[in-house]
Amino acid sequence: KFGSSARDSGYRRGPGMAPVGESSDELIKFLEKDLPDVIAKYDKLWEVQDPEENPYKTKYEARTVLQSAVTRLQGLLPTAGGEADRCRASIAKFQLYLGKNYYFCEEVPEAERHFNRALEGFLRLPSRLDPENFVLIQDVFNQLGMLWCNRQGHSEGMNFLRRAQIMFLRRPQTVRDTCDSKAENNYTLTIFYLAQAYGALQKPHLSARFCAETMRHQLEHNAPGRRTQEVMERDPFDCKDWVRNCCSLSDFFANECMFWTAEYLLHAALVMCEQCKEICGLEPEGLDELRAECLRDTGQLYSVRLKFAKTCAENPEACEQVWRGERKPVPAASNAPESEGSRLTFRCSADHESPQASDATPVL
């Protein structure tokens, strides 16, 4: 559990320092007037397309903007008074943005450090369950989960992704009332990464489940009226890719002899091909060829199901062993020690070999 620091209320001014009230006013001015300009400047630099010979030119410039803001906030924090939590929340948010910047520029170890600082900063806030902070914590968990999965550290990545999943499923009512759309968008990324992580951990059933859940969220998110025209133009929904994912997922369920689920997915793909314009508001090229592929896959599914039915009639005992359906296997007893990935720490992978790291204890 994390509480507010006693130093905030018991701060005493040293010789030559500005009175607390004056510094607090300066912080409020920075938070309410200067900070929006910093974010706007950063966003403007981020949207610039850099040349191939210097692909991160404006991203480095944008990084210095954030670093200057963090330095300024850290300088104002000791005399922030009652605005200390707002100041810490802004620092944590900018640490998150810096982590994304470093990750985009392929500086992964430094990105991880900033993500960890952001996570620790957010979790120490008394206001961590406020809607704005809540969705940012979701985002940090997603970023750390993605970072570890891309390193092939799927157990460590799962640790962060499962926390993000549980956060969403147990989100407070205030989050549901004020920014549920942002929370759902973050959750869509969470289950997308979970599908990848479970696949890498040799848990195909869970991977397939989260693949299907991701596709459902994609479809709901891109339904007519859910997004503005500007957002749709900037981030269009690829319905052809969605149809191909349906077909791939159908193959998995067909191989598991779950023919009803496989057939449902193929019919969903066919409906998307036939009603793409009504569902998504656009009709991409090559949709007729994709519809023909779906019909071909449906025919193959029916053929496999007929062969399986024939085999069941001829040799029911053998089919009983093959047909898993949706039955869950009995979990084997395990006395394995707790995995490193099941505990939450704020250490980076680059710090694991350092002498200080051996004395560090998990925070959560």
What is the secondary structure of 232-254 as a DSSP string? Answer: HHHS---HHHHHHHHHHHHHHHH
In this prediction, residue 344 has a pLDDT band, given cuts at 50, 70 and 90, of low
Report the half-sphere exposure of 138 (CA within 13 A, side-chain side).
Answer: 28
pLDDT at 91 over 90: yes
Average pLDDT over residues 109-138: 94
Token digits of residue 353: 């070999």
Beta carbons of 201 and 161 less than 8 angstroms apart:
no
pLDDT at 66 over 50: yes
Distance between alpha carbon 321 and the CA centroid of its chain, in Å? 38
Which pLDDT value is given to residue 337? 55
Which of 82-86, 152-156, 305-309, 322-326 has the weakest average pLDDT?
Answer: 322-326
Which pLDDT value is given to residue 306? 92
Which pLDDT value is given to residue 90? 93
- Residues 11-41 have pLDDT tens digits of 333 444 444 445 577 888 888 888 889 999 9
CB within 8 A of 11, min separation 6: which ones? 20, 78, 79, 81
Which pLDDT value is given to residue 32? 85
Residue 286 or 95, more confident = 95
Beta carbons of 38 and 66 less than 8 angstroms apart:
yes
Buried/exposed code over 81-110 (b: 16+ C-beta within 10 A; e: otherwise): bebbbbbbbbbbbbbbbbbbbbbeeebbeb
Highest mean pLDDT among 133-147, 285-299, 305-319: 133-147
| H or E stretch at 35 | helix 35-46
In this prediction, residue 325 has a pLDDT band, given cuts at 50, 70 and 90, of very low
Average pLDDT over residues 340-357: 54
From residue 194, alpha-carbon distances to 26, 181, 238, 239, 295 in Å are 44, 20, 21, 22, 30
Q: What is the mean pLDDT of the chain?
A: 82
Beta carbons of 139 and 168 less than 8 angstroms apart:
no
Residue 283 or 172, more confident = 172
pLDDT at 177 over 80: yes
